Amino acid sequence: MRPYRTIGVAARVLIMVIVSEQACAYSCENDSIESVSDTGSILLMVSGEVYEVGAGDTAYTQFWLTDDDVLVCDDSEIINNDDNGEKTAVKRLE
């Protein structure tokens, strides 16, 4: 095997390892919405967690409903399973 092909194969393997590690690092948890503030800026979850919604997404989240099933991913994104997979950037509040 030629040296440059060995390097190419090694580079591809390294890229696959990095990508798979990043995919594994992204974790999501099932939860449901307990309540949504009038402006859509705060989401209270059944689990007790509270999230602040990014300003650009409140136009959507203000219409999310109590008991909607969601995925909370790395405390930075919520995906509403009951609203066609709509996503919003969030920040978990202490």
Q: Which domain holds residue 44?
A: 28-93
15 or 85: which leads in pLDDT:
85
Residue 43 lies in a domain: yes
Please return the burial class of 4, using the count of CB atoms within 10 Å of its CB with bins 0-12, 13-18 and 19+: exposed
Residues 60-80 have a mean pLDDT of 96
Q: What is the pLDDT of residue 15?
A: 64
Dist. CA 17–CA 77, nearest whole Å = 24
pLDDT band of residue 14 (cuts 50, 70, 90) is: low
Q: What is the pLDDT of residues 73-90, one digit of tens each?
A: 999 999 999 988 999 999
**Taking the C-alpha atoms of 26, 31, 37 and 41 in order, what is their torsion angle to the nearest 10 degrees?**
0
Helices vs. strands in the chain: H and E counts, helices first: 2, 6
Residue 2 lies in a domain: no
Q: What is the pLDDT of residues 25-56, one digit of tens each?
A: 679 999 999 999 999 999 999 999 999 999 99
Residue 69 lies in a domain: yes
Residue 22 lies in a domain: no
Number of domains in the chain: 1
Helices (H), 26-94: 58-61
Residue 4 lies in a domain: no
Residue 19 lies in a domain: no
